[in-house]
Chain A
Amino acid sequence: MEGSFAGLAHGFDVALAWHNLIWCFVGVVVGNMVGVLPGMGVLSTISILLPLTFSMQPVAALLMLSGIYYGAQYGGAICSILLNLPCHPPHAVTCLDGYPMTKQGRGGVALGITMLAAIIGAAFGIGQMMVLAPYIASIAFKFGPQEICALMLLGLLAGSTLAKGSPIKGISMTLFGILLSLAGTDINTGNERFTFGYAELSDGFELVAISLGLFGIAEFLKSVNSVSLAGVKNVRLGFRDLRPSRADLRQGLPPILRGTVIGSLCSLIPGTGPTIASFIAYAMEKKISRTPERFGYGAIEGVASPEASTHSAVQGDFIPTMSLGIPGDAVMALLLGALMIHGIQPGPRLIIEQPDIFWGLIASFWIGNIILVVLNVPLIGIWVKLLMVPYRYLYPTALFFVCIGVFATRNEMFDVAATLGFGAFGYLLLQLGFEPAPILLGFVLGPRLEENFRRALLLSRGSMETFIDRPISAVFIGISVLLLAAQVYAAVRKMRAPVKLPEEAFD
Chain B
Amino acid sequence: MRKNFTRREALVTAAGLAAGIAAIRPAKAAGYPERPVKIIVPFAPGGPTDLMARVMAGYLSERTNGSFVVENKAGAGGNIGCGFVAHAEPDGYTLLVHSSALVVNPGLYKKVPYDIFKDFSPLVELGTSPNVFFTNPTTGIKTMADLVARAKADPKALSYASAGIGTTPHLSGELLKLKAGIQMTHVPYGGGGPGMQAVLQNTTPIGCVSLPPTLPFIKGGQLIALGVTGKTRWPELPNVPTMIELGFPGFVTDTVQAFMAPAKTPQAVVDLVVKTSIEILHDPKIAKQLYDDGFEVLANGPAGMQKRIDDEVPMWRDLIAKSGIEPI
User: Cβ of B201 and Cβ of A330 under 8 Å apart?
Assistant: no
A141 and chain B: residue at smallest CB distance:
B201
Size class of the contact patch on chain B: 35 or more
A202 to B80, CA, bound (A): 9
Contacts A51-B54, A141-B201, A189-B326 given; does A347 touch B216 at CB 8 Å: yes
User: Cβ of B328 and Cβ of A270 under 8 Å apart?
Assistant: no
B288 and chain A: residue at smallest CB distance:
A343
A332 to B193, CA, bound (A): 12
Q: Mark B52-63, 1 if CB is under 8 A from A, else 0.
A: 001101100000
Segment among B43-51, B141-149, B240-248 that sits at the interface with chain A: B43-51
User: Cβ of B46 and Cβ of A333 under 8 Å apart?
Assistant: yes
User: Cβ of A347 and Cβ of B217 under 8 Å apart?
Assistant: yes
Point out the residues of chain B lying under 8 angstroms from A459, CB to CB: 159, 185, 187, 203-204
B80 and chain A: residue at smallest CB distance:
A199
A58 to B46, CA, bound (A): 16
B230-272 CB contacts (< 8 Å) to partner A: none
B172-216 CB contacts (< 8 Å) to partner A: 185, 187-190, 193-194, 196-198, 200-204, 213, 215-216
Whether B74 is near chain A, meaning CB under 8 Å from some CB there, is yes
User: Cβ of B215 and Cβ of A340 under 8 Å apart?
Assistant: no
Point out the residues of chain A lying under 8 angstroms from B130, CB to CB: none
Contacts A199-B76, A325-B213, A337-B54 given; does A411 touch B71 at CB 8 Å: yes
Among A142, A334, A412, the most chain B Cβ lie within 10 Å of the Cβ of A334
A333 to B74, CA, bound (A): 15
State the Cβ distance, B228 to closest chain A Cβ, in Å: 18
User: Cβ of B222 and Cβ of A348 under 8 Å apart?
Assistant: yes
The secondary structure that dominates the B interface is mixed
Among B55, B57, B216, the most chain A Cβ lie within 10 Å of the Cβ of B216
Point out the residues of chain A lying under 8 angstroms from B217, CB to CB: 347-348
Point out the residues of chain A lying under 8 angstroms from B166, CB to CB: 190
Point out the residues of chain A lying under 8 angstroms from B79, CB to CB: 199, 202
Q: Mark A140-178, 1 if CB is under 8 A from B, else 0.
A: 111111000000000000000000000000000000000
Point out the residues of chain B lying under 8 angstroms from A337, CB to CB: 45-47, 50-51, 54
Whether A187 is near chain B, meaning CB under 8 Å from some CB there, is yes
Whether B156 is near chain A, meaning CB under 8 Å from some CB there, is yes
Size class of the contact patch on chain A: 35 or more
Contacts A343-B292, A459-B187 given; does A185 touch B83 at CB 8 Å: no
User: Cβ of A188 and Cβ of B73 under 8 Å apart?
Assistant: no
Point out the residues of chain A lying under 8 angstroms from B215, CB to CB: 345, 347
Whether B31 is near chain A, meaning CB under 8 Å from some CB there, is no
A144 to B202, CA, bound (A): 9
User: Cβ of B220 and Cβ of A343 under 8 Å apart?
Assistant: no
Whether B289 is near chain A, meaning CB under 8 Å from some CB there, is yes
User: Cβ of B45 and Cβ of A333 under 8 Å apart?
Assistant: yes
State the Cβ distance, B132 to closest chain A Cβ, in Å: 15
User: Cβ of B58 and Cβ of A51 under 8 Å apart?
Assistant: yes
Whether B77 is near chain A, meaning CB under 8 Å from some CB there, is yes
Q: Mark B275-286, 1 if CB is under 8 A from A, else 0.
A: 000000000000
State the Cβ distance, A246 to closest chain B Cβ, in Å: 45
Point out the residues of chain B lying under 8 angstroms from A347, CB to CB: 213, 215-217
Point out the residues of chain B lying under 8 angstroms from A332, CB to CB: 46
User: Cβ of B201 and Cβ of A140 under 8 Å apart?
Assistant: yes
A410 and chain B: residue at smallest CB distance:
B74
Of B76, B165, B188, which one neighbours A202 at CB under 8 angstroms? B76
Whether B72 is near chain A, meaning CB under 8 Å from some CB there, is yes
Point out the residues of chain A lying under 8 angstroms from B46, CB to CB: 327, 330, 332-334, 336-337
A435 to B46, CA, bound (A): 36
A346 to B48, CA, bound (A): 13
B27-46 CB contacts (< 8 Å) to partner A: 44-46
Whether A200 is near chain B, meaning CB under 8 Å from some CB there, is yes
Among B74, B83, B188, B215, the most chain A Cβ lie within 10 Å of the Cβ of B188
A50 to B156, CA, bound (A): 46
User: Cβ of B196 and Cβ of A145 under 8 Å apart?
Assistant: no
Whether A349 is near chain B, meaning CB under 8 Å from some CB there, is yes
Of B44, B165, B202, which one neighbours A190 at CB under 8 angstroms? B165
A458 to B190, CA, bound (A): 15
User: Cβ of B216 and Cβ of A348 under 8 Å apart?
Assistant: yes
A144 to B58, CA, bound (A): 39
Q: Mark B313-328, 1 if CB is under 8 A from A, else 0.
A: 0000000000000101
Point out the residues of chain A lying under 8 angstroms from B57, CB to CB: 51
User: Cβ of A199 and Cβ of B72 under 8 Å apart?
Assistant: no
Whether B140 is near chain A, meaning CB under 8 Å from some CB there, is no
User: Cβ of A185 and Cβ of B187 under 8 Å apart?
Assistant: no
User: Cβ of A200 and Cβ of B75 under 8 Å apart?
Assistant: yes
Point out the residues of chain B lying under 8 angstroms from A327, CB to CB: 46, 193
Selected A-B contacts with CB under 8 Å, 9 pairs: A141-B201, A190-B165, A191-B326, A333-B44, A341-B54, A341-B289, A458-B159, A458-B185, A459-B203
Besides the contacts A43-B45, A334-B45, what 20 more A-B pairs have beta carbons closer than 8 Å? A144-B201, A187-B188, A190-B164, A190-B165, A190-B328, A199-B80, A203-B75, A203-B76, A270-B194, A327-B193, A332-B46, A333-B44, A337-B54, A341-B51, A349-B220, A410-B75, A411-B72, A411-B73, A451-B190, A458-B159
Chain B residues with a Cβ under 8 A of chain A: 44-47, 50-51, 54-55, 57-58, 70-77, 79-80, 83, 108, 113, 156, 159, 164-166, 185, 187-190, 193-194, 196-198, 200-204, 213, 215-217, 220, 222, 289, 292-293, 326, 328
8 pairs of A and B residues whose beta carbons are closest in the complex: A333-B46, A347-B216, A190-B165, A141-B201, A202-B76, A334-B46, A47-B45, A326-B193
